[in-house]
Amino acid sequence: MPDWLLYTGSRIRHDGIDRLPPPPPWRAFDGEPVLEIPDRPSGNEHQATTYRPSDDAVQQVNAALYLRRPLLVTGPPGTGKSTLAYAVAHELGLGPVLHWPVTSRTTLRDGLYQYDPLTRLYAAGRDDAPRDEDIGRYIRLGPLGTALLPYARPRVLLVDEIDKSDIDLPNDLLTIFEKGEYELPELTRRADPSAEVMTADGPGDRVTVTAGTVRCRAFPLVVMTSNGEREFPPAFLRRCVTVELRQPSGEAELSAIVREHLGDLADESDDLVRRFFERSTAGTLATDQLLNAVYLCRHADAEDRRALADRIMPYLTGPVDDD
């Protein structure tokens, strides 16, 4: 691997992230006080340690790290778009992945933070309520809001299925990604705009927000996945590093993936791998369907393994018509 690569796809944890050079002048951030990343696993260790990234994916992950730009990952289902985030976090020791699943109802505010005014109002009405109220108890940073805290090293943020979002969300994200900061109006309106708030890492993890503003220091590695259900505006795309993941290109590559996941259970699975490729010429299938079929066929007492595998591997988009 070239020396400039920090993430290599080796799946072996190392401190290569410490070689990350200073950012380009236009992507430098100076948030304080400096925080350390939680010393915990990525959150999906099996996937992270069995993932086999393409050379192109390795190159583009490193480009995103160097340039401090979001990474837009596209490709069909089952190609490991989401898993890539966990693999990078595991190898580079970047703590638990901050996962933000996106739907058509998701707003920018959902990713930044949540404020619970009703619980606060109820607590204030109690006879034993303290005079100096701790407003931070009612504010919890979301995955995006937590990723933008002033960590010494980049956190990994997984924005899952951004193509399902409302049409305005990608453009709303642009401002946040460019500024690397955001405000909490509930704090800025107070005489003392500082508070200790909860983070997306869990209710036990609290950080101090000063002056009602969160500003990053090490821009996070933002991995945004897309199944290609929509097009993104040019202004959004030009600020992203992009990579397209593809299905395994041959039986040998797919067999290696099956063995990585299932070990000895993958023995005598060549016929199922071959069947997967035969069927994939007529419709869309995903690699995890094959993994399910191999696992089940090793445990189920079935006379016709092929028939059982076919039922476990239905087409995701329907078979292609021969006409």
Amino acid at 206: R
In this predicted model, what pLDDT tens digit does every residue of 80-103 receive, in sequence order? 999 999 999 999 999 999 999 999
Is pLDDT above 80 for 44? yes
Evaluate whether 182 touches 109 at the Cβ level (below 8 Å).
no
Q: Which two tokens stand for residue 233?
A: 């505006």
The pLDDT assigned to 284 comes to 85
The pLDDT assigned to 136 comes to 85
The pLDDT assigned to 6 comes to 97
- Assign residue 252 a region: left if phi > 0, alpha if psi is -120 to 50, beta otherwise? alpha
The pLDDT assigned to 281 comes to 83
CA nearest 177: which of 141, 133, 221? Answer: 221
Residue 2: which pLDDT band, with cuts at 50, 70 and 90?
low
Q: What is the mean pLDDT of residues 170-198?
A: 93
The pLDDT assigned to 319 comes to 57
pTM of the predicted protein model: 0.90
Is pLDDT above 80 for 23? yes
The pLDDT assigned to 115 comes to 92
Is pLDDT above 50 for 323? no
Torsion of CA 191, 207, 110, 202, to 10 degrees: -140
Mean per-residue pLDDT of the chain? 90
Torsion of CA 217, 82, 262, 298, to 10 degrees: 160
The pLDDT assigned to 155 comes to 98
Residue 322: which pLDDT band, with cuts at 50, 70 and 90?
very low
In this predicted model, what pLDDT tens digit does every residue of 125-153 receive, in sequence order? 665 555 556 888 899 999 999 999 999 99
Strands (E), the chain: 71-74, 98-101, 113-115, 139-141, 156-160, 181-183, 195-199, 202-209, 213-215, 221-226, 241-244
Q: What is the mean pLDDT of residues 196-221?
A: 94
